[in-house]
Amino acid sequence: MPVITIEGPQLSIEQKRELVQAVTESASNVMKMPKHSIIVMIKEIDRENVGVGGLLLSDKK
C-alpha cells in the first residue's frame, strides 16, 4: 500500500517505465512512504471502451 491505478490509453513499454518511476517518486515524496511499499497498476483501455460526453472515443475524430 498505497495502490495507484492509472486507467488510460495504450502506452509503449518505455512510457510505462517512465510513468511508474515518476508517479512512485511523487507518491513516495508527498506521502513520506518508502518506494518499495508503492504499487502502480497500468490499465490500458481501448478507445472503443471509453465514452466522454456520451460518445465513444473511437467514434470521435
Interstrand relation of 55-56 and 39-44 (parallel, antiparallel or unpaired) = unpaired
Residue 32 neighbours by CB under 8 Å, 6+ apart: none
CB of 10 to its own copies, least distance (A): 10
| Range 30-59, binding its own copies (CB under 8 A) | 30-31, 33, 35-36, 38-45, 48-59
- Asked if 26 is part of the footprint of its own copies (rule: CB under 8 A), the reply reads yes
Answer for the pair 38, 27: CB distance below 8 angstroms, yes or no: yes
The site for its own copies (CB under 8 A) is made up of: 1-9, 11, 13, 15-31, 33, 35-36, 38-45, 48-59
